[in-house]
Chains A and B, each alone.
Chain A
């Protein structure tokens, strides 16, 4: 911990002109990070960690990222091995493609698709969409009784509640890229994803009360 305090950990929060970045910014500050909102492609690589937040529609988001010349800096940052965090739509954008309002190509960091909740579950119950509210998260890997240490979920209890707001969810092709799962009205789906230095959550840790802030603090520890 002492080493952590030695120097400021600067984190870029990518602004692609959609959604509310401020709650992510406040959560970072609260977790001891020094966040900065960034839309200048030349600055992206200067941070110690990078966050892709987002609320809104996939197509518009990816269009803005490309229009603002942010795709390559994001890819370069990820290739550099520094910690990268995707939140909500920011997680979905990391996937290969989304079916939201037509097919859109994503950043393809995590192979897989983004699909819409069905109108009804297997029992025939009507689903209220968007899914807005608190759902419990569980490890995606069979037989795991705790979330592993030295991950963003260390100290988070299995079955803890997190806050979700979405109509689409991710389906990673490789099961190893699924870190946790949740359930909404009988639909089980991947709610956080990991691949090397990239971590992403479908829920909003910055809106998930003290437990969500723990995730930001854990993520902060991974920044060197």
Chain B
């Protein structure tokens, strides 16, 4: 029987097969944990007198509640005592159970979905979970990777397995040539606007076609990251030479790397394998995209008009965003710009933003925040002088973390402010109570910071 990439990886991890009455027991190769969704799971373990079954397959970092500023005396300005305690609780729990942890003193600390791949811990054909819905990011390497809740974090800590029914599979095929100024972020925003915020519910997505084959790993991670914004817990891309090049010579690259690559290549979907659903998209239909509403499915080409509302929820959305049907979205006045998050905080993203910022100043009324995804990214960006470009333009260059994507660390906007953000969610209040969010690519965000109004990135000569 011809199998999909998802089928092959799934089958290799079945400990106990699914039956009519019971879900499958699936072995997990890598469990990533962070401070927000793990403390109650560790409490569950200690309440039941359980240990961590495979600390060697568990990796921890601190990213959500962490300040992105450092005080003059070197201390960290936590937003609250709770946030500080949460970070300390993670460090205490991981020390107790012998889990490798990338805390403040690690050169690898970063957003969990940036750090895993950088360490080379994200392997093709692996099963990866984390108490974070953007775990789908790791699917860019051909892994089955998905977010879980805290109860399941406890299950994996204790058993290295989860119980799950096999999801349906969906192929999203994007073929052809991308237009000038269209980035991976625009591709995924286009896809979500097409299939809808719930269009992927119940499915594992495989992104297929020459557009993804020609994408860098950074771009592939941006695409897979936002699978969950279409409701799909998991999004994957078949591993290939680009994947293998990325994974070379990293801390956790498998020792028998050449053999591993050969095995990983065989994971690709068999020719003629059937998906439960297929979506075909022509690449040249995609334009630079932005969101205009209050969920990631409400996306439009940046040069188009606000669509008519189909229902009361969409009307509420426009009211919240303070925009009107039929208006242009270009030119809307912007208060803040955020470049960062597990969606767009990698080198490709920072280089793209820097090329737009180069020798330009951001608008005087705009505050711009550039937050690298990890300490590794921060160091490399500084080596390339990108930090100087951002700061010369008038942007703030911060310590790595999730930052303004969800504002848990206090990096938030003020009520009513409009933020153009390279993150993944434009939900009401996500970036602070009453804050309005427009999701966009790093190129659009940088162009906008300079213009002070939502700006078409194609107006910059630096855009390819």
Same complex:
no
Q: Show the binding face of B for A, using Cβ within 8 Å.
A: none
Q: Show the binding face of A for B, using Cβ within 8 Å.
A: none
